[in-house]
């Protein structure tokens, strides 16, 4: 299977803090690949390096064989990115914002209107698309950010904690969409700090801690490597990350 993302011996420091520590991994095309770890483990920094927003101190990253640093425009044309805290233009309506994003990616006028309408309906925002984003809730803003990342039909989605602010039904919509895109050959890199969410959405996972790769594989492989029962491993992660606040989302995702 073709490699979508290759990370080779990458390190990144912020002052005296080592955010990423000699990390290497490969993500196959067509996977829903999870980056799992507690807050501060390096997930967001790694994803920003994949997009080209942060340059590693040493090591190399390629997206479908293309460097995000040497060819940033080419990479951004095939990647859809949702940061952990998306920043939207509050003085625009949702429709205006998505129209603007589609224009940036060069989506044709006919196609962008069709795709915007489709995603607004799918994410249950139809009827509110002409309201200013400043009046949107966190969950509604998150939906708009996700739609913006999908409009140009990216080959790779990079989603940093994309379920933040979403209710259980909306989280289920995201899960179903990622599964559909996976079948169409789209690769997704999905970060979370909750093991159960990774288990519900991802078919392969890398576990990060303090900027280092602790383990990588399918959920079954990780459970076997841990030497612990599945429930015990889940309890460890939920205890580290405070899983009670995502219980409803987890229940919806695992139905």
Domain 3-253: homologous superfamily in CATH: P-loop containing nucleotide triphosphate hydrolases (3.40.50.300)
**Which segments within the chain are labelled E, that is strand?**
3-14, 17-28, 32-36, 58-63, 79-82, 156-160, 187-192, 204-209, 212-217
Kindly tell me the sign of the dihedral angle through the C-alpha atoms of 123, 129, 131, 134. Answer: positive
Which residues, other chains included, contact 179 with Cβ-Cβ below 8 Å and sequence gap of 6+?
32
Residue among 8, 31, 32, 33 nearest 20 (CA): 8
Structure token pair of residue 174: 């995201």
Share of the chain above pLDDT 90, in %: 67
Backbone dihedral angles phi then psi of residue 33, each to the nearest 5 degrees: -105, 125
Structure token pair of residue 68: 């995000």
pLDDT of residue 127: 94
Please give the residue that has the higher pLDDT: either 209 or 154: 154
- What CA–CA distance (Å, rounded) separates 178 from 128? 24
pLDDT band at 245 (very low <50, low <70, confident <90, very high): low
Share of the chain above pLDDT 70, in %: 87
Please give the residue that has the higher pLDDT: either 234 or 156: 156
Cβ-based neighbour number of residue 244 at 10 Å: 7
pLDDT of residue 199: 82
Strands lying side by side in the sheet with 79-82: 79-82, 156-160, 187-192, 32-36, 204-209, 212-217
Mean per-residue pLDDT for 208-230? 75
Structure token pair of residue 199: 């288990």
Pairing of strands 17-28, 3-14: antiparallel
The 10s digit of each residue's pLDDT in 81-96 is 999 989 999 999 999 9
pLDDT of residue 191: 93
Q: How far from the centroid of its chain's Cα atoms is residue 237's Cα?
A: 19
Mean per-residue pLDDT for 124-149? 95
Please give the residue that has the higher pLDDT: either 81 or 235: 81
Average pLDDT, the chain: 88
DSSP 3-state of 102: helix
- What CA–CA distance (Å, rounded) separates 122 from 167? 15
Mean per-residue pLDDT for 17-31? 94
pLDDT of residue 72: 93
For residue 98, pLDDT beyond 90: yes
pLDDT of residue 61: 97
- What CA–CA distance (Å, rounded) separates 84 from 39? 11
Are 37 and 210 contacting, i.e. CB atoms less than 8 angstroms apart? no
pLDDT of residue 241: 40
Kindly list the distances between the CA atom of residue 45 and the CA atoms of 67, 103, 119, 198, 243, in Å, as whole numbers in the listed order. Answer: 17, 28, 28, 19, 23
Which residue ranges make up each domain of the chain? 3-253
């Amino acid at each position: 299977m073709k490699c979508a993302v290759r990370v080779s011996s990458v390190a990144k420091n912020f002052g005296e803090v080592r955010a990423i520590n000699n990390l290497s991994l490969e993500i196959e095309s067509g996977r829903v690949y999870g980056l799992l770890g507690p807050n501060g483990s390096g997930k967001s920094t790694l994803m920003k390096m994949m997009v080209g927003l942060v340059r590693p101190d040493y090591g190399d990253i390629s997206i479908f064989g293309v460097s995000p640093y040497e060819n940033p425009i080419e990479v951004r044309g095939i990647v859809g990115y949702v940061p952990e805290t998306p920043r939207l233009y509050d003085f625009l309506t949702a429709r205006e914002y998505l129209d603007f994003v589609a224009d940036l990616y060069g989506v044709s006028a006919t196609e962008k209107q069709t795709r915007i309408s489709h995603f607004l309906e799918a994410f249950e925002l139809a009827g509110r698309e002409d309201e200013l984003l400043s009046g949107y809730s966190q969950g509604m803003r998150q939906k708009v950010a996700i739609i913006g990342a999908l409009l140009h039909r990216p080959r790779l989605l990079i989603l940093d904690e994309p379920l933040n602010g979403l209710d259980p039904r909306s989280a289920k919509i995201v899960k179903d969409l990622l599964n559909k895109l996976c079948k169409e050959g789209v690769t997704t890199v999905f970060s979370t700090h909750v093991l159960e969410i990774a288990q519900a959405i991802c078919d392969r996972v890398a576990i990060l801690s303090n900027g280092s790769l602790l383990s990588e594989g399918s959920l079954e492989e990780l459970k076997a490597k841990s030497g612990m029962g599945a429930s015990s491993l889940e309890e460890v992660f939920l205890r580290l990350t405070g899983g009670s606040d995502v219980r409803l989302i987890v229940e919806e995702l695992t139905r």
